[in-house]
Every structure is written in structure tokens, then in C-alpha cells.
Chains A and B, each alone.
Chain A
Amino acid sequence: MPDMRFATVAFPKDAEDLRLQVRRFLEAEKADGRFVPHRSSWNTFDPDFSRRAAKAGYVGLTLPEAYGGHARSSLARFVATEEMLAAGAPCGAHWIADRQSAPQILRHGTQVARDHIIPRICAGECYFGIGMSEPDSGSDLAAVRSKAVRGAGGWVLNGQKIWTTNAHRVHYLLALVRTGDAGADRHGGLTQFIIDMAAPGISVRPIHDLSGNHEFNEVFFTDHFVADDFVVGEVGDGWSMVTQELAFERSGPDRFMSDYRLLTELVDRIGPAPDARQAVETGRLVAHMGALMAMSGSVAALLDRDIVPNVEAALVKDVGTAFERDIPEVARRLVAVEASLDAQDDRFAEALADVALRAPSFTLRGGTREILRGVIARGLGLR
């Protein structure tokens, strides 16, 4: 088996110092009642929180100071991220922009795009969505059919995206669009564009999820114009860029901490004197968590050294999201409770309800379990 790079990583001191600052910031937020941990997560869209986090210096951590960023390492960002998740902070507004859009624009975007967008991302005021999936292009990303043709000074887009998280409230999408022939490997002829959601030629239609939440959308492009300045990377080079982007998207602590607050609620609900079964099952979950923290940290260290660890990232997400789905299943067997979103005085019942209704998405979004296992199998040399 090829060497899977999960070496133990030492976090630099500045990252650990940052951890304590972030922790204090979040404690003050909680103390002021600005968020309720067991009712929010990295999916919760709260622009006020994003602006306060940015003001405190915790958005755009890896981005250059010239753009309002903080020029810190990926490990520093990793530490801030996991502190946000552990606290159950509502990070959803700035999440995607900070995690993957800004790094892509910085690395591959035009100077105009960088100057125009990155400072606002760092200020916690500019949010992104991901324009990858289409009705006929879900797991099979290379089947993208939205199409851009040359116009004067830019490109004219037509087509449709779907499952676009927050499309109704973000400022931009980073979208993968067909600009040429796919070629024999099907990976050619794709280009990444920054889509300005306020510009003409865009309409957004909501998709409500099974619990009634509105996060997903359909997005339609009708002769939507994108200036050359908003092309990201070389025309036709989109495939390799989205693959890189996915390594960031798949390996972070958000892939095993989406329902971390349910684990802590479970521990509190069981109380200080668990019976043997409760102790064994809780201990099992904590052992899984410990291993995942180590795996995810190792990948962050690789990203810091400009290595793109696609297979390792897929392993983190596959093992991590399986763990996320396991937590509510274990929790409901250890504490008999009827889950409810408005249990009022019962935090555990509320956290369980929230997670039960979100859980199916854990192993779908950002690459389904089956696609990830295909990536892993390729890494093993099986395809």
C-alpha cells in the first residue's frame, strides 16, 4: 500500500497561543448569549457572528496581510477552526469563503479579483457558495454542462447549478463551468468562474431540506456575463483546481465535528457515574475522535507544505463522517429520550433532534461516501 501520510504533527506554539485567544473570544460570545451551542454549527448562517469573528482576527487567518488577512499557517487556521467547531459556533456565513474560495482566488485569481474580494472576505463581510453540482452532475463532476462562451471582455454563461448551499444569501459563487471539449480523460475544457450573485442573469430557487431548513438552492444562469477578471486560473484548467479545493474541503475538522456538541451533551446527560455500557460506548466514541483529530491534523500539516493529499483527505472525510453518523445512533441507545427540536428544557433531546435531521447530509455533501471510497481505492492502486 502506498504510504498514507498520517505522521503525528506538532502544532507550532503560535497556533496554540491563538487557540487560547479564540477560546476566550468564543466564551465571551456564549456568555453574552450571542449563540446557543447545541442549536448551531458550521452550517448556521450568522453574518453578525462572522463580522465579530473577523474583527477579532479569526477570519482570513492564512491570507496575506496586504489583503487584510493575518499571514498565519494552515495549522493556525486549523486550530481556530476546531475551536469554533468545539464551541458550536455559527460559522456558516464565512465558512466556505474562508476555507476554500479565498485560497483559490489568492492562488489562481486575477489581481483585480484578489483586490476586490479578499479584503472583504477577511472582514467577514463577503460570503461564497460552491457552484459544482448540477442536475446531471452530482458525483460525476466531470459531466458539468453549464456552459460559457466568449463575449466582449469576458464570458457569457448559461446553465444551472443545484444543491448550492446559501446561494440565496452569499455574494459570490465559485463555479465550475464548461468552456471547451472534455477530451479523452473527460477532465478538460472546464474553467472556474467567480459568479457575482447581484449581477443580471441569475435566478435562485430554494430547495427546502427534510427538516424544512432552507440552505440549498437551484441557481440558473441566463446569459450571465463574467468579466475576464473573474476567471480563476487558466481557461480549461478547472478540473485540477477543484480537485485541489476538495483536499481543503474534505480533510478539515468540520468532517468529524459537525455534531460534536451532541457528544458533549451526551456526556453531560449520562453524568459522572456511567454504567458499564454507557462508559464503554462513550469511550469508544472518544477513541474515534482522538484518532480523527490526529489524522486531520496530519493532513493540515501536509497542506501547509503545499502537498495536495487527496487520498488522505478522502480517508479523513470517509472515516470522519461515518463517526458523525454514529454519534446520534449511539447516543439514542445510551439515553432513552424522544428527540425534539423544541424540547425547551432538555438540551440533549434538542441536540439529538438537530443531528438526527442533519445526519444524512454528512455522508453526501463534499463528495459522497461512495465517491470518497473510489478515491481511496485509486490511492490503494485498485483502479
Chain B
Amino acid sequence: MLHAPASPQADLQSEPNDFSAILAEQTDRLLAQHVTPACLKAADGGVFPAAAWEAVSDAWLPLALVPEAAGGVGLDAPAAAQILRRSGYHALPAPLAETMLGLALWSAAGGAAVEGPVSLATGLLRLASGTILAEGTMAHVPWAGAAGHVLAIAEAPDGARHLALLPRAAYTIVPRRNLANEPRETLHIGTAPLGPDALLPLPAPLAGPDGLMLFGAFARAQQMAGAMERCLDLAVAYANERKQFGKPIGRFQAVQQMLAVAAGESAAAGAAAQVAAAAWNTDQFPLAVAIAKARCGEAAGKVAEICHQVHGAMGFTQEHVLHFITRRLWAWRDECGNDAHWQERIGRMVCAQGGAALWPRLVALRAAANGDRGTQP
């Protein structure tokens, strides 16, 4: 169902918005059909949305970033990021982001094809010797119970790092949930030996200080950008519909001004998320992700606050859908490094390089949109 254009580069350049608009529309239609309030409510209670996941998988969305030659769709990162933003818009309660990035990274590292769902662990796995895992735990692993595999970085006793794909048999799971009741389990790692194909050399983009968390942050930034758009849509619709003092509350300037602030925050967050997508596979990616996660994380709190305020008591109820979005925003802004974590990363880099270096650095960041948009991270 999901098709890359014959020549994505050419298409995107001639009509920057066409392909992207069609993709967004297709994704929206699919998700609106399956991610219903009933589906969200069930997922909130711990039921994995099997039908939604099947639809998403049938549309090849998890394979968006795997090259065609490796059996994937071969979308470029901006297009794939658009899918993630739409999944955030609909609050898809399933590991699409984790699987999409996990499969892309595993494939780029040379790994054999695996079935989704796949999870990404941001903690460090330890090897006792060779391919034998040391006992240990990894916390906050998203959707580990639903996933068949967990992608992680494994460190050997000599300090060498590898990309590891843990099969389900390699760990036991202790349930834990985030604010949106999405699974964020703790894994207890046993001492089982990994198969020969489960450890690969660590690709360069994962060698930085944040490892897989960089890619997790990329995903959460996209999801947050989409979720903020949804929050704003809900709040604007509610403000136009709810009447007090004889007119819709959206006619009051106080309400208009608040929503305009939310729109500004949402727009800035979305722009930062798109820069990160454009910087995929370039040297600018780590800074672009840091900026996107920091900006989206900061905006998420403000947008959620304003949209709740506009919804009044109704938005505070279980019955209204708003909380499916806002609880995710509150969870996602703290996952994979909160805004302060990424702000500190940016600040240390900028201060180390000095004031004069800042401008060329920011220009190079935005110019990443001019660069090669490969599908290999």
C-alpha cells in the first residue's frame, strides 16, 4: 500500500508538497480507521491493538526506512518522519516508531531481515565474553512485551561496542507503564549466548554519547510534533463549539491569544522536527535531533497546558479523547532524554566552540536539507 515514488528525489524537488501531502493523507486515513477512541481505551487498559498493528504492517509502514534492496520501502527520512508525526497525531498505541527505526538501523548495520515489532533499548547491554550476555537489567524498554526483538548496544569486557538484536528468549519482563499507560518495561537479561547473527559492528551514528537514545529522541520528537498538532485541532474545535455568555468561547480574545501561543509553539516544534528529519544521514544529525527533542519537549508542556485550559473540566475527564494525546506528550517529553538533557548537550557544544562558531554551525544545520537524503542512517 505504501509506495515510494519512482524517483523520490526528483519528485520531492519538483513539487515539494505533493508527495508529502499524499503520504500524510494515506497515513491519516489508515490510522483514523483503526486508532479509534475504543482502540485507545483498550490499549490504555493494556490490550495490544492487534488489528491496528496488522493494518500498519500491511501498509509496510514499519519498513519505510529499510532500502528497497533489503526488502523495505526505501522512503527518505523526511517522508518517514512524516509518518511518525501522523502516528503521534493519532496517538497510535503501538511501537511503529521503535520498529521503523530499529529495522532501519539493523538493516543498515548489515543485519538480516526480522519481523516486527522491534523495540529499542537505550540502556547499555553487557557481554560477559564472546556472544554470552552478562546478567543485568535494562529499564524503560518500550513495548518490550509486544516486540519479538529488542535492539540494543552491547559492550564487551574490552570496551568494544556492538549492535545487538536480542531475541525474546534472552530476557524476562517486569511490566511498567508510562503516563499514557504505554508499556515501558524493565528487562532482566539472562546469561544465554546470542546467535552468531545477533551481534554486528556498531554503525558510526550510534557511536556517539547518546547511542540509541539519539534515535529514540528523533522518534519522540516527531511523535510529539504530531501530537501537538492534534491537541491544537481538538482545542480549536472545542473553542468553536462550546458556548458561554451566549457565544463560542473561541470568540473571546483571551482564548484566542492562548491558542495563538499554542500554535506558535506547535509550529516551532514541527519545524525543528523537520530539520532533524532532513539531517538524517548527515553530520548534522546529532545536533538536529538535540534541537528537535529540546524544542518539542519544551513546547509539549505549554501546548498541553493551554489545550487543557481551553477544554475546561471536560478535557479532564476519562471520557474525552484529549488525555490520550496530552498524557503521551507528558510521557514522551521525558523519554529518551528530557529537554534539559538535550539542551545541556547543545549548550556544552556551543560554549566549547565559542560565539563566533555558532552562526556557521546553525547555517550548516539548516543546510542539511540541501544534502544527501539517503535511507541509511
Contacts and interface: CB of A to CB of B under 8 A. Distances in A.
A6 B369 CA distance: 13
Interface residues of B, number: 63
A376 B262 CA distance: 10
Contact of A286 (B264, B277, B291, B354): B291
Contacts of B288: 290
Interface of A: 1, 4-11, 13, 16, 19, 82, 86, 260, 263-268, 270-274, 276, 278-284, 286-295, 297-298, 312, 315, 318-319, 322, 370, 372-374, 376-377, 379-383
A78 to B, nearest CB: 11
Contact of A8 (B260, B269, B278, B351): B278
Contact of A297 (B268, B290, B355, B366): B366
Interface string B38-71: 0000000000000000000000000000000000
8 contacts: A7-B16, A10-B370, A280-B340, A282-B350, A290-B291, A319-B264, A322-B264, A383-B256
| Interface of A (DSSP majority class) | helix
A318 B263 CA distance: 10
Given A287-B298, A377-B256, A382-B250, 8 more contacts: A13-B370, A273-B351, A279-B343, A279-B346, A282-B343, A287-B291, A288-B295, A294-B271
A8 B369 contact: yes
B351 A270 contact: yes
A270 B344 CA distance: 14
A53 to B, nearest CB: 18
A380 B268 contact: no
A5 to B, nearest CB: 8
Interface stretch (B90-98, B192-200, B233-241, B317-325): B233-241
Contacts of A319: 264-265, 267-268
B359 interface: yes
Contacts of B277: 8
B362 A290 contact: yes
Contacts of B346: 279, 282-284, 286-287
Contact of B358 (A16, A264, A370, A383): A264
A372 B260 contact: yes
Contact of A287 (B78, B272, B352, B369): B272
A11 B294 contact: no
Given A282-B347, A382-B251, A1 B232 contact: yes
A297 to B, nearest CB: 6
A16 B256 contact: no
B269 A291 contact: yes
B160 interface: no
